[in-house]
Amino acid sequence: MNQSDKSEPANNVEIANSVGVDSKGVHNLQLYAEIVNNMQVGICVWQWVNPLDITAFKLIASNPFAEQLTNRSLRTLIGQRIQDCFPNISRENLELFVRVIRSKQSESQPELDYSDEFAPESFYSYKAFPLPEQCVGVALENITECQLSQIVLQESEERFRATFEQAAVGIAHVDLDGRWLRVNQKLCDILGYTREELLMQKFQDITYPDDLESDLQSIRQLLTLEIQTYSMEKRYIHRDGSPIWVYLTVSLVSSESQPKYFLSVIEEIGDRKQAELVLQERANELTRLNTILAQTTTLLNKRKQEMDQFAYVASHDLKAPLR
Topology of domain 168-268 in CATH is Beta-Lactamase (3.30.450)
Do 12-147 and 168-268 show the same overall fold? yes
The stretch 37-49 carries a mean pLDDT of 88
Predicted model pTM: 0.50
Give per-residue pLDDT as tens, 24-40: 544 565 676 677 777 78
Sign (positive or negative) of CA dihedral 143, 149, 152, 156: negative
pLDDT at position 25:
46
Rounded distance between C-alpha atoms, residue 308 and residue 300, angstroms: 12
Give per-residue pLDDT as tens, 209-245: 999 999 999 999 999 999 999 999 999 999 999 999 9
The CATH class given to the 12-147 domain equals alpha beta
Q: How far is CA 211 from the centre of its chain?
A: 32
Going from N- to C-terminal start, the domains of the chain cover: 12-147, 168-268
Residue 19 has pLDDT above 50, yes or no: no
CB 113 within 8 A of CB 123: yes
**Amino acid identity, position 196:** E
The stretch 198-211 carries a mean pLDDT of 96
